[in-house]
Homo-oligomer: A and B are copies of this chain.
Amino acid sequence: MLARRGGSRLNLDELTSQDFSAIAESDPLVILPIGATEEHGSHLPLGTDSFQCEEIVQRLAREFNALVLPPIRYAECRSTRNFPGTISLKSETVQALVTDVLSELARNGISKVIVMSGHAGSGHMAALKLGALRVIEQNADMRVMVLADYDIACDLAGQEFPQDDGHAGQIETSRMLAIRPELVSSERPFGDARPPRHMIVSDPQRYFPSGVMGDSRGASAEKGGRISDYISSRLSDIVAQNFDIPRADGSEERA
């Protein structure tokens, strides 16, 4: 059974109870991908955050022989909450979800967990962290990492990408062109305004009617591939630093 893990069986819910039980004894890393169903301009699909996150998670899982939990493709979406197609959860629901899933992992003896979010809104991230914290308070031996792949991608803003690139901008458009090009329309919208910083407003969409924060022009699948590589490489190091897990290929460090 364990042999399968070197192969393609990374999705936790494709295992039987007994197979899972055997793997759990080896203290594996388990990853929970959390996406979003959220407006992403006139050119990107509502599931953009999900697709990006899940691609990165699959790479990471292969590298660390990790198990991947069924993805949750909903998030708390604040700035875009009034656009068509956004399905935003309440912050309390996001927290409850993560609390429940992580509690069950703890019951199952899992001690190394990554909650990877495709959506990087600060309220959403805070809910994920608070949920994880509640579980840690009851399970002191558990180590949980909570982060958004988008935040790592943003390292590249100001370098290869425009400084103010953001929601549905050049980075996200490039990544989607690399991963799911058939879901990207031919439009390349541009939006140079945003809701005012620090302000809590009832109509954030009024401040960026395009639904885009940044400039999607100039995006390409090739750039998207480089972004994915960058994120994966950075994540690989972060994970190796924080968890005591060998890489599947036996390497110690990535160049």
Partner-B contacts on A (CB < 8 A): 11-18, 20-21, 24, 35, 37, 39-47, 50, 69-74, 78, 83-93, 96-97, 99-101, 104-105, 108, 122-123, 125-127, 129-130, 132-133, 136-137, 140, 142-147, 183, 185, 196-203, 211, 238, 241-242
Contacts and interface: CB of A to CB of B under 8 A. Distances in A.
Contacts of A96: 90, 92-93, 96
A85 B20 contact: yes
Contact of A70 (B12, B47, B123, B198): B47
A98 to B, nearest CB: 10
A40 B136 CA distance: 24
A21 B84 contact: yes
Nearest to A104: B87
Contacts of A83: 17
Contacts of A41: 16-17
A122 B74 CA distance: 21
Contact of A69 (B42, B87, B89): B87
A66 to B, nearest CB: 16
A84 to B, nearest CB: 4
A178 to B, nearest CB: 16
B35 A70 contact: yes
A45 B199 contact: no
Contacts of A126: 91, 122-123, 125-127, 130
B140 A14 contact: no
Given A39-B17, A92-B96, A137 B242 contact: no
B199 A85 contact: no
A85 B200 contact: no
A71 B136 CA distance: 28
A89 to B, nearest CB: 5
Given A45-B16, A96-B96, A126-B123, A108 B84 contact: yes
A108 B85 contact: yes
Contacts of A37: 12-13, 69-70
12 contacts: A14-B46, A16-B43, A17-B83, A21-B84, A72-B72, A93-B100, A122-B126, A123-B126, A123-B130, A132-B200, A136-B201, A140-B203
